Structure 1
Amino acid sequence: MEFSSFAAALGGGVLIGLSAILLMIFNGRIAGISGIVSSAFFADKKLTDKGSSEKASGLAWQWFFIAGLVLTGVIYALVYEQLGLPAYEFDMVSEPMLLIGGLLVGLGCSLGRGCTSGHGICGIGRLSLRSIVATCVFIAVAACTAVFIH
C-alpha cells in the first residue's frame, strides 16, 4: 500500500468520525446515512402534523448533508490526479449489477435498521450491542460476497 493511499484513507476516516461527532454535538442526531436520506425524501409522511415552515427548517440540514456527500465525491474525482491520490475505476461492474447491488443494500439497510455508517461508525462508538452485531454481519456478508464474486 502506498503512503498516499494510506494518508487518503486515514484522512477520510478522521473526517467521517469528526463529522459524526459534530452532528451528534450540534444536532443530537446519529450520522446514519440511510436514516438521513430516508427522512429527507420521505419527510412528508413523518412530519404531517407539523407546519410547512417547520418542515422546511427541519429538513435543511439533511439536504446539506446529502449535498456534502455527493459534492465530496465530485471534488475528489476532479482533483485526485493533482493530489496524487489513487483513481477508482467504475467500469468494473455493469449497470444492471450496480442496480441490483443498490437494491440489495437498500433491503439490507431496512432489515438491519440502519447502514454501516450508523451502526459501524456511530453505534460502535456508543458501544451499542445491536450495532456491534449488525456491523459484524455487514462485514461477514461483504467478505462472502467478495469471495463469491472474485
Structure 2
Amino acid sequence: MGKNRSYMLCFESCCKSTVVNFFEKHIGRENMRKTIFYILSLCSLLCILPAAYGMNIYVGNLPHSMTDSELKKLFAEYGEVSIASVITYKKSGQSRDFGFLEMPNQAEGQKAINSLNGSSLKGRNIKVNQAKPRNDRPQRRYRY
C-alpha cells in the first residue's frame, strides 16, 4: 500500500491531467484500469529523473594515471558527485585521458567548471565544461 500510495502522490502532483487526457483520447476510459500502474511507474520516473541528472560534466586532458575515485574526489570539493568515470580503451584498459561525471546540483556543477577549467592537475592543464548530448555532436566521418 505504501509504494502504491507514493506512486499516486507523484501521479497527482505532476502529471495527472496529462495522463488522463492521453488515456481518454487514445485508449479510452475502460482500458485505464488495466494499465494505470504502468503509467504511474513511468510518471514516478519522470518525477525522479530531472533531480537525478543535474549536470553532466566533461573533463579532458586528464593525467594517464587518473582513476574514477580520484576524479570523484577532485570534484567532491565543490559539491556532491553522483557518478564519475574515466574513459579507458577496451582492449588495454589504459586511460583515454578524459572522463565524465554527474553532479545533481546545477549550481555546484557550474562552480566546479568555473574553478577547475584550465587548472593544473599532475602537470597537465585540464579542460572542464558541460558535456554535450550525443545528438548535438557532429557526425563522425568513417575512413573505411
* Same-fold status (TM-score > 0.5): no
TM-score (structure 2 length as normaliser)? 0.25
Bigger share in strand: 2
TM-score (structure 1 length as normaliser)? 0.24
Q: Which has the higher contact order (CA 8 A, sep 6+)?
A: 1
Rg larger in structure: 2
